[in-house]
Amino acid sequence: RVESAIGFAQWIVDDPATRQAGLEEAKRNMELVQLLGGSHIAAPPAGATKDVQLDLFAAAERYRALLVAGAEIGVVPQVEVWGHSANLSRLGEAVFVAIESGHPDACLLPDVYHIYKGGSAFAGLEMIDGKSMHCFHMNDYPAEPPRENISDADRVYPGDGVAPLDQILKTLAEVGFRGALSLELFNREYWKQDAGEVARTGLKKRSEEHTSELQSRQT
């Protein structure tokens, strides 16, 4: 199945012309996902990652417009946490935008690395209804470099870093998450390897030790 996809349309930015162009690009992206048989697409804060702090109420209105467009196509955009961004870097910010959009399809796309990078506590996941998360990006991060300097490229396979994955998965199970655990890696060393082997290694790294709690709750 196509559990999710991503595009980098600038749907959230302040400039009206850029935002309208971003909305049209997002529609094209969602149409492609629909043609592939998918039903969800990530909605990161592309174009608003530097300097300017957006008004979160305005961001919620823009997310609603994206959701309305997605409903016509049959694809649901997911507010994605981007820990390195000036906007939506925190789990709470993404939750705020989803709630204040007031749309029934509003949902979140969290990521182990991005929650850490943005400085949010993983305990915050305990306050989110699992039904509002259809996909969760799985990865890990090392103890070094420190959080302030860590980058996308430092992500490692689940279990190869210091993230509290057991607790994260236990929390997801307890809040009723029944979505997909999607391997999300931007490690350039992995890029040099065979894609199939990377996928197999990623599945292996998500061992029974890490997934037993989630699987037992699902059954």
pLDDT in tens, 174-195: 999 999 999 999 999 999 999 9
Answer whether 172's CB lies under 8 Å from 218's CB: no
Say if residue 157 is exposed, middle or buried (CB neighbours under 10 Å; 0-12, 13-18, 19+). Answer: buried
Structure confidence by residue, pLDDT tens digits, 33-53: 999 999 999 999 999 999 889
Residue 73 pLDDT level (bands cut at 50, 70, 90): very high
Spatial separation of the C-alpha atoms in residues 43 and 66, rounded to whole Å: 9
pLDDT of amino acid 186: 92
* Residues composing the chain: 219
Tell whether the model's pLDDT for residue 215 goes beyond 60: no
What is residue 205's predicted lDDT score, i.e. its pLDDT? 85
Q: How far is CA 22 from CA 8, 57, 155, in A?
A: 8, 19, 28
pTM over 0.95: no
Per-residue pLDDT reduced to its tens digit, 81-110? 999 999 999 999 999 999 999 999 999 999
